[in-house]
A = this chain, B = another copy of it.
Amino acid sequence: MSLTEKLKFKTLEWAGDHLRVLDQTRLPEETVYLECDTVDEIASAIKDLKVRGAPAIGIAAAFGVAMGMRKREFQSWNELEDELRRVISILAGTRPTAVNLFWALERMRKAAKTHHEESPGQISQFLLQEAITIHEEDKSMCERIGEFGSSLLKDGDTVLTHCNAGALATGGIGTALGIIYTATWQGKKISVFSDETRPVLQGSRLTVWELQQQGIDVTLICDNTAAAVMRSGKIDSVIVGADRVASNGDVANKIGTYSVAVLAHHHGIPFYVAAPSSSFDPAIPDGGKIEIEERSSEEVTDSFGKRTAPAGSDVYCPAFDVTPAELVTAYITEKGVESR
C-alpha cells in the first residue's frame, strides 16, 4: 500500500464524470463532499477556500479546465482556443498568489494545443487525462518530498507547523505534513505543534483535524504562542509549505510564516520549506515582486460567527507574507533537500 493510500480521507477525487471535493470550510465540524460538475463550480470552490493549498488548487483547476471543455466539438483551433481562454480566465481569476494555479492552467493550455493538432475530436478526453496525470504526479511528488524530508527528522522530534501544508492542501499526503506522515510511518515518533493560523484558522480547523485522522500527536496553539513554545526548548524544527518561491529563494506562504521564520532564527531552530518544484517561479526575481492577495477585513472581524472588532474597524489582512531566503535552512522538493 502506498503512503497516499493510507490516508483516511480524500481531498480531491475524480469520480468518473465529476470532481469530488472535500469542503474544507465545513471542517472540522462536518465532513462534507462537494460534487463539482462545471468550471464555475470549481472556480467557486477555489475562490471560497473550499479547496485550498497551492498544489490542490492547481489540480482542481486542471480538472476545471477539463470539465469546462468537455462534450464540445470545435471546428478550428481558433474556436477551441477562444473557449479555452475563457475557461482558463475564469479559473485564473480565483486566487492570485499560488503559482501552481497558473502552472496547471498553462500545462492544460499546452496539452490542448498538442492534442488538438493530433486529434481534434477527442480534446475532452485528452484534457481529462492530463488533469488525472497532474493529480497522479502530485501524489508521487508528495511521497518523494515526504521521503527526502523525513531524513531531517529524528525519532522523538517535535515539529512546529503553520497553516496547512498537508494532505488537505495537495492531491496526496501533503508537503510539510507529508514529511511528518512519512517519518511516522517509518517508525519515528513525531509530535507536532500546530499554529491555529488566523484569520481563517487552517491550522486548528485543518492541520489538527488531519493529523488526528492519521493518529499523530498534535498540540494546538495560538499563533502568538509559538515564540514561548520555542523558548521552552520543545521545538526541534519548523516545517511549512510555500505558495510561491522566487528565484532568489524568497518564500511567499500563508500570513504568519515570516513571523515563525524570524522566531525560529532567533531560537536557533531549523526552518524548512517543503514544496513541489512547481511552486518555484523562475520568472519572479525576489519576494518583493510576488503579488500578495489581500482578503476581506471580515475574515478578521467576523470570522468566529460573532463580531469581534468594532464596526468600521480599519483592518490590514494580507493572505500571505514573504520570508526572505536567508531565514530558510533548506528547501525540500520532490528532487531532494537543498540547503542554503
Chain A residues engaging chain B, CB cutoff 8 angstroms:
28-29, 162, 193, 195-199, 201, 204-205, 208-209, 212, 217-229, 231, 255-256, 258-260, 262-263, 265-266, 297, 300-301, 303-318, 321-322
Say how far A304's CB is from chain B's closest CB, in angstroms: 3
Q: Are the C-beta atoms of B301 and A204 separated by less than 8 Å?
A: yes
Q: Which of B201, B255, B260 contacts A308 (CB 8 A)?
A: B201
Is the contact region of chain A dominated by helix, strand, or loop, or is it mixed? Answer: mixed
A303 closest partner in B (C-beta): B304
Docked Cα-Cα span, A256 to B231, in Å, equals 12
A204 touches B309 (CB 8 A): yes
Q: How many copies does the complex hold?
A: 2
Inter-chain contact A224/B195, CB cutoff 8 Å: yes
- Cβ of A209: which chain B residues have Cβ within 8 Å of it? 309-310
In the bound complex, do residue A218 and residue B262 qualify as a contact, i.e. CB atoms below 8 Å apart?
no
| Contact between B227 and A321, CB atoms less than 8 A apart | yes
Contact of A307 with B29 in the complex, beta carbons under 8 Å: yes
Smallest CB gap from A204: residue in B: B309
A224 & B256 in contact (Cβ 8 Å cutoff): yes
Are B301 and A220 within 8 A (Cβ)? yes
Most chain B CB within 10 A, of A199, A212, A316, is at: A316
Q: List 20 A-B contacts (CB under 8 A).
A: A29-B307, A193-B316, A198-B223, A204-B313, A205-B308, A218-B313, A221-B316, A222-B300, A223-B223, A223-B224, A223-B256, A224-B255, A224-B256, A225-B259, A225-B317, A228-B258, A228-B322, A231-B321, A262-B262, A304-B305
Q: Which B residues are CB-close (under 8 A) to A29?
A: 307
Give the complex CA separation of A237 and B300 in angstroms. 24
